[in-house]
Structure 1
Amino acid sequence: MSKGVLLVNLGSPDSTETADVRRYLREFLSDPRVLDINPIQRSALVNLIIAPTRAPKSAEAYKEVWTAEGSPLITITYRVRELLRERLEIPVEVGMRYGNPSTESGIRALLARGVKEIFLIPLYPHYAMSSYETAVAKVQDTLDRIAPDIRLVVQPPFYNDPQYIDAVLERANDALATDPDHVLFSFHGIPERQVKATDPSGCYCLRMEKCCETRHPAHSFCYRHQCFTTARMLAEKAGLPREKWSVSFQSRLGRDPWLKPYTDFVLEELPTQGVKRMVIFSPAFVADCLETIEELGMEGKEEFLKAGGKEYHLVPCLNDATPWIDLLERFVTDYLDGQLSV
């Protein structure tokens, strides 16, 4: 059976023009797994309020991170594809959940190579309905529509894979060598309601005391638990004392409660607690993008220094680093060896 690999990441606007950013925001926020509210309310909110008002500001932010090659997230993902192609004997393609290159274009490229079975690697270490789950659903929905006979095998979240932990820490060598006062692990935030929605039991996540610390089947789908697990494993492997590291969540939208504590609040509070030199990780992202380069690297740094901090070091994402390519190659090898199930 002919097999192929599909790498799926979030996506990016086609350019920094306001019209392209507005189009991207509309597609992204119209996803019911991202903005999980009443469809009529979602349509009105996205098309009449969020997209028109946020697009100009977001366009300016994208201009801060755009390179001569285009969107960092897109160009990095393309480089990862090329590096994997050099190592593998089966086709490798890229698709974005939103924007271009589309998920469908990646699938069609594999079909054109005669692929009958697709190994999907969602480029998200952690499970969340607004990232991992929607990427998988989009691929399956597209296959159901254009190629229903194609078999799909999906790489599970890898938030606690020791090789992933080692790869992230390898990127932090220079930053940790500065002997920071504090290390902050900042993960992309999600609404608390989405954590509850992905709990199969419907009665555990964010409903029980210390729910993330007590083993439970819901943890396979719990973004919050998985983020805490990644942070703990990184801290332990780096030899950080418990008092020298913490977890926060960034990029919230709207007034509903999101996972706490909020990164921007933490960055303003740390200097008041005596933290002058800090290192910040963004382990939920495997490729540098708007949320890492601009939100953490620029806005976050400004907030920390303005509050009295002195040194601020952002750890780069995995990007196209060799340990990350090694891990992706291992995922594919495990798949080809039959060590993954549908």
Structure 2
Amino acid sequence: MKQFVMILACGLALASAVPYAGHHHRTPSHGQQRYGVPQAHPAQPGQVQQRGQPVQAKAATPKNIPGVATDLGASTLVDLVIKAGLADALSGPGPFTVFAPTNDAFAALPKPTLDALGQDTALLKKVLLYHVVQGEVPSTALANDITAPTLQGAKVRVNIYGDAITADGAQVIKPDVRASNGIIHVVDRVLYPIPETAIPSVLINDPQQRFTTLVTAVKEADLVETLQADGPYTLFAPTNDAFNALPAGTLDGLLKDKAALRNVLLGHVVPGTIFAKGVPAAGAVPAVRSGTQISVRKSAGGVSVNDANVIQADLPATNGVIHVINKVI
């Protein structure tokens, strides 16, 4: 772990070496590897390789990261890397660790997001660099609930749930793919830079303003400082509609009784970061409130906690993750 921390501490050092807008691609000399490569055998959807099983790309001569990414079925990522002017940097000596989304992961993005990435080179570069960490970091060097500085500057959160590894909640479906200049972990969705805000600020700045009642309750219960601490925490966050659905007078009574209000709110907070990928088919997790267990379940229909359903999962914060729920638990 110390070795891993030392590797990651160098993460921002390469930022100055990454080309920015206006940089022109170098023309490779004779014999120099080119990042454009033919398609090979893409990763099969739904297949997850076990942690700690190194993969060597099938090639007589080792390919660099863009070349291996293409072979793995991440050609969309490579196309965007070229569009953003980052191909030369990621074809360089590195070494780098790349969390590489598959083509299907990019295809699953909402059309407005895809359009924005296609039209805004600065945004595209920011998102792509968020997938890159300086140094070679194999899956065996990863630990649960650590954050790693990316070349974008923000930190990506890594979690381990049994044999499953996630990066900001995206599952690593093929770890430890070797390239000539680093290592690739294939992930099943695109990562977004974690906002530089803790849980309370994420609630306050929600674009849909779904948590104004929860924010008021957190302030009245003197829990803002608690939820701004390092944690990390998992918050199951009831919406305004969830509070409005309580029996008449219940919310007013809680807001007048700080001890009772704190008790209810702390029953929605779990220590540690539990992304949706880490929720078991059935089980229980301890809440911050002493002696309280929250029942959690995951099925084809989604995730539920006690008798509430998660209506939006995996809202990231610097100190954990938020799951939006439709009932107060």
Give the TM-score, by structure 1 length: 0.27
Richer in helix (by share): 1
Query: Which structure is larger by alpha-carbon Rg, 1 or 2?
Result: 2
**Which structure has more strand as a fraction of its residues?**
2
Relative contact order higher in (CA < 8 Å, ≥ 6 apart): 1
TM-score with structure 2 setting the length: 0.28
